[in-house]
């Protein structure tokens, strides 16, 4: 039985997978569900999963922040299926693995309809755990570094229980993900479900929505459009940015390995928002101005993953440095905005 290195061990054997898995003469493909697969990380994960000819990939998405455009290369492919579905409603399909990503991730989007955000995290995760229980599928939840809230421990390792405001404007997301983690472990202990939990730290890369509102996409779009980079006060708050290909690699290693997690997946390179703005200015538009603007409530002051567990248990660490990842994202944004680099 998989463990996370402590006492959260299931007392039940896992549910039986489909009889097809045991068929002697039938070499079945692995049927993999990706919820939120039309979004930023989800669509890159789908690209990677589809590279394996033994995989059939099913995406469910309600297109709140995702788009069919992110999956256009797979629509019509015989091993790929796209379903418009909201995870707050039950889903009856047959699957072997579930990557459960569905949830708006950008603060401006998750705060837009907070009740829906918490429903997505709680009812959506319950529904996907129900599906895992019925089918015997292994399920991976994309949790977040926001479960650590405004952390009093730095860097954050997985033993830290966090410092989260339960009634703030971010709570629909961070408390929602904390409940989702609780549900995962309760289904594991009570029903023997095979679970995996990734605590993702700020991830960036091509295909982020241009008006997503997150800091890297904001700064890159602003630099390309010659608009001032909006550093929210005080500007000394830190984040650690992971390039999306590293993230997808970490998620797949976690899913296919033996450890339940939670495991931090992120890049420990830590930057203040002012430093990030300086990097974007230098790499993308040396003429652009940097301005400070008001911040939003409960913004975490520091964030950096301790990735010892990911290194030891998954043999994973990020490869792409921020200064190499930013230009790759710039290229994608320039293409979509139709603004080429000044000579």
Q: Write out the catalytic residue numbers.
A: 173
Q: Which stretch binds ligand UGA (CB under 6 A): 31-39, 232-240, 307-315, 331-339?
A: 232-240
φ/ψ of 117, rounded to 5, equals: -60, -45
Which of the stretches 211-219, 249-257, 310-318, 330-338 binds ligand UGA when contact is defined by CB under 6 A? Answer: 211-219
Q: Is the previous residue joined to 262 through a cis bond, with omega within 30 degrees of 0?
A: yes
Torsion, Cα 306 310 315 318, to 10 degrees, reads -60
Q: Maximum distance among all alpha carbons in the chain?
A: 65
Nearer to ligand UGA (CB atom), residue 41 or residue 59: 41
CA distance 243 to 340: 23
Give the nearer residue to ligand UGA in terms of CB position, either 278 or 299.
299
Reduced to 3 states (helix: H, G, I; strand: E, B; else coil), residue 30 is: strand
Stretch of 40-48, 185-193, 283-291, 302-310 contacting ligand NAD, by CB under 6 A = 40-48
CB contact at 8 A, 264 and 199: yes
Element (H, E) at 326: helix 322-337
The nearer residue to ligand UGA, 63 or 258, going by C-beta atoms, is: 63
Answer with the entry of ligand NAD, ligand UGA, none that 231 interacts with (C-beta below 5 to 8 A by kind).
ligand UGA
Q: 218 is in the binding site of which of ligand UGA, ligand NAD, none (Cβ under 5 to 8 A by kind)?
A: ligand UGA
Q: Among 114-122, 124-132, 214-222, 306-314, which window interacts with ligand UGA (CB under 6 A)?
A: 214-222
User: Site for ligand NAD (CB under 6 A): which residue of 105, 184, 197, 280?
Assistant: 105
Asked if 64 interacts with ligand NAD (CB under 6 A), we say: yes
Q: Does 45 bind ligand UGA (CB under 6 A)?
A: no
Distance CA 56, CA 77 (A): 10
For residue 245, give both structure tokens: 């290909």
Count Cβ atoms below 10 Å from residue 112 Cβ, excluding itself: 14
For 22, which DSSP code?
Answer: G
Cβ 200 to ligand UGA shortest distance, Å = 6
- Beta pairing class for 238-240 and 270-272: antiparallel
Which positions from 116 through 175 interact with ligand UGA, judged by CB under 6 A? 144-146
DSSP 8-state code for residue 29: P
Token pair for residue 297?
A: 């409530």
Contacts to ligand UGA by CB under 6 A: 105-107, 144-146, 200-202, 214-215, 218, 230-232, 237, 239, 273, 295, 299
Contacts to ligand NAD by CB under 6 A: 35-36, 38-42, 61-66, 86-88, 101-105, 120, 124, 142, 144, 200, 202-203
């Amino acid at each position: 039985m998989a463990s996370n290195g402590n006492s959260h061990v299931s007392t039940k054997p896992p549910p039986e997978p489909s009889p097809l898995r045991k068929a002697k003469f039938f070499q079945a493909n692995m049927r993999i569900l990706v919820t939120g697969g039309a979004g930023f990380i989800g669509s890159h994960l789908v690209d990677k999963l589809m590279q394996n000819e033994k995989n059939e990939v099913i995406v469910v998405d309600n297109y709140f922040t995702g788009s069919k455009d992110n999956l256009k290369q797979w629509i019509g492919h015989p091993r790929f299926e796209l379903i418009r579905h909201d995870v707050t409603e039950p889903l009856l399909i047959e699957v072997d693995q579930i990557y459960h990503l569905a949830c708006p991730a950008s603060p401006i989007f998750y705060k837009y309809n907070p009740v829906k955000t918490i429903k997505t995290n709680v009812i959506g995760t319950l529904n996907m755990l129900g599906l895992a229980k019925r089918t015997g599928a292994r399920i991976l939840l994309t949790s977040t570094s926001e479960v650590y809230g405004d952390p009093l421990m730095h860097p954050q390792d997985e033993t830290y229980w966090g410092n989260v405001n339960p009634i703030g404007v971010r709570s629909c997301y961070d408390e929602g993900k904390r409940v989702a983690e609780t549900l995962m472990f309760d289904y594991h202990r009570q029903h023997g479900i095979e679970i995996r939990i990734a605590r993702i730290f700020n991830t960036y890369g091509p295909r982020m929505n241009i008006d997503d509102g997150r800091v890297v996409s904001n700064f890159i779009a602003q630099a390309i459009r010659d608009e001032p980079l909006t550093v929210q006060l005080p500007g000394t708050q830190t984040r650690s940015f992971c390039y999306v290909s590293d993230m997808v690699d970490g998620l797949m290693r976690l899913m296919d390995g033996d450890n339940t997690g939670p495991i931090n997946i992120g890049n420990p390179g830590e930057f203040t928002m002012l430093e990030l703005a300086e990097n974007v200015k230098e790499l993308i538009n040396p003429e652009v101005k940097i301005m400070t603007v008001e911040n939003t409530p409960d913004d975490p002051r520091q964030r950096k993953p301790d990735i010892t567990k990911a290194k030891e248990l998954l043999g994973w660490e990020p490869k792409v440095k921020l200064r190499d990842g930013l230009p790759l994202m710039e290229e994608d944004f320039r293409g979509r905005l139709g603004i080429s680099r000044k000579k």
